[in-house]
């Protein structure tokens, strides 16, 4: 029986999430045994034409050319899975969405008039139907393998939507916020990293994006009243890799405009 055909596409991004697939190392051989890698420029110059059974899409939409290209990718893909903070939430480049992007291009480029870009960096789901979103900056390779395994077995991926705090409890990691007063976004951030930062005595800065139904108001209130955080500090905390994810965007907007 023919193996399902896999394609990997890149939009505005750093390539880190695609690298997570190559980083699978030993497991990669098993993946290659089960799927035909038909289009993956990071790994091979050989590009086979679509249609594809599964497309992994990294990166956000930041140009009109990419806004057209993602439509073609969708048409060629039976299943389309977005991987990483850029593809699922617009990425760090979505910081432009809160300002005038021309201010950034003028500050960075000698001839900004040559730069053709959209006003906003947007997630793939804002442009086409997405079958599953895998979060992280970068994604976890174990979660990527779970998504690939689920696709091959035709079941729903078992990816948690609960917060990082649960991983602290499971791994016996001491809470840096309760024990040391270190600001931590773990209560509102989706699990998947194994509570990596708290295990090194650092607060989570939200790289896996919002957990399901995150109570950002309660966390913000705790940061303000117990940790002495200022409103600008709260704005910066919610505006990082997943700044344009709806719950973090709403929270940072509220703190920027001094709403409770």
Binding site for ligand SF4 (CB under 6 A): 164-165, 168, 175-177, 184, 186-187, 189, 193, 195-198, 204-208
Closest separation in Å from C-beta 241 to ligand SF4? 9
Q: Given the complex with ligand SF4, which of 150 and 227 has the nearer CB atom?
A: 227
Enclosing H/E stretch for 29? helix 26-34
Closest residue to ligand SF4 using C-beta atoms: 186
CA–CA dist 197, 200 (Å, integer): 5
Q: Given the complex with ligand SF4, which of 157 and 194 has the nearer CB atom?
A: 194
Would you call 194 exposed, middle or buried from its count of C-beta atoms within 10 A (0-12, 13-18, 19+)? middle
CA–CA dist 141, 192 (Å, integer): 10
Q: Given the complex with ligand SF4, which of 83 and 118 has the nearer CB atom?
A: 83
Bridge-based pairing of strands 5-10 and 52-58 is parallel
Closest separation in Å from C-beta 201 to ligand SF4? 9
Closest separation in Å from C-beta 211 to ligand SF4? 10
Q: Given the complex with ligand SF4, which of 7 and 188 has the nearer CB atom?
A: 188
Enclosing H/E stretch for 65? helix 64-76
Closest separation in Å from C-beta 95 to ligand SF4? 17
Closest separation in Å from C-beta 203 to ligand SF4? 6
Instruction: Encode 49-73: b = buried (16+ Cβ within 10 Å), e = exposed.
Output: ebebbbbbbbbbbbeeebbeebeeb
Q: Given the complex with ligand SF4, which of 8 and 177 has the nearer CB atom?
A: 177
CA–CA dist 235, 177 (Å, integer): 18
Q: Given the complex with ligand SF4, which of 73 and 176 has the nearer CB atom?
A: 176
List Cβ neighbours of 177 (8 Å cut-off, separation of 6 or more). Answer: 183, 184, 186, 203, 222, 227
Closest separation in Å from C-beta 18 to ligand SF4? 19
């Amino acid at each position: 029986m023919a193996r399902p055909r896999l394609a990997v596409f890149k939009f505005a991004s750093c390539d880190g999430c695609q690298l997570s697939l190559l980083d699978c190392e030993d497991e990669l051989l098993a993946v290659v045994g089960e799927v035909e890698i038909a289009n993956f420029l990071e790994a091979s110059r050989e590009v086979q034409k679509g249609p594809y059974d599964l497309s992994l899409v990294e990166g956000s939409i930041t140009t009109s050319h990419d806004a057209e290209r993602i439509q073609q990718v969708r048409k060629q893909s039976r299943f389309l899975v977005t991987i990483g903070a850029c593809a699922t939430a617009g990425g760090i480049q979505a910081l432009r969405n809160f300002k005038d992007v021309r201010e950034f291009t003028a500050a960075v480029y000698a001839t900004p008039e040559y730069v053709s870009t959209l006003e906003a960096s947007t997630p793939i789901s804002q442009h086409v139907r997405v079958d599953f979103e895998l979060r992280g900056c970068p994604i976890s390779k174990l979660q990527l393998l779970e998504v690939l395994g689920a696709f091959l077995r035709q079941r729903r991926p078992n990816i948690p939507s609960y917060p990082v705090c649960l991983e602290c409890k499971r791994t016996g990691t001491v809470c840096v916020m309760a024990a040391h007063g270190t600001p931590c976004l773990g209560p509102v951030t989706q699990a998947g990293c194994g509570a990596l930062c708290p295990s090194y005595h650092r607060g989570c800065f939200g790289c896996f994006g919002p957990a399901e139904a995150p109570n950002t108001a309660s966390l913000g209130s705790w940061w303000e009243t117990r940790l002495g955080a200022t409103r600008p500090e709260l704005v910066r905390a919610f505006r990082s890799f997943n700044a344009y994810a709806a719950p973090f965007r709403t929270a940072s907007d509220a703190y920027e405009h001094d709403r409770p």
